Amino acid sequence: MQAGRLLALSLMALAIAGCDQELDANTTDGKELFNYHCAGCHKESGTGSFLEGIPANRTTQLTEKQVTQLILHGKSQMPDMPAFSQLSEQQARNIAQYLLRTLAEK
């Protein structure tokens, strides 16, 4: 009986630990980066949340360069949009490309 409880607790701890994984800081995969940094507000689909005032970024009219700059530096007229200065230019560009080329087509 005690061994069963120990096994159950061990499996639960392992499952919980797997849910809190950090993103590899060197990843350049646009989808992975979008899901980690953007999907919390804009959702994985890029549809945002109208009731919370979070825009659907998959329908943006911004260019790839403008989205990249917005990701890296934020915008004073959008105080709720954080700047992700820890990302490289390439990582931000890959997020923009994923958003504009993949999510926009769905």
Tens digits of residue pLDDT in 17-53? 444 468 888 999 999 999 999 999 999 999 999 888 8
Cα-based distances in Å from 30 to 57, 74, 101: 14, 18, 11
Tens digits of residue pLDDT in 43-92? 999 999 988 889 899 899 999 999 999 999 999 998 889 999 999 999 99
Q: Where are the alpha helices (DSSP H) in the chain?
A: 2-19, 30-37, 39-42, 64-73, 89-101
Take residue 30 and report the two structure tokens written for it: 């646009």
Q: Which band of pLDDT confidence, cut at 50, 70 and 90, is reported for residue 98? A: very high
Q: What angle is formed at CA 71 by the lines to CA 66 and CA 75, rounded to 5 degrees? A: 75
pTM summary value: 0.76
Walk me through the domains of the chain, giving residue ranges and CATH numbers: 27-105 (1.10.760.10)
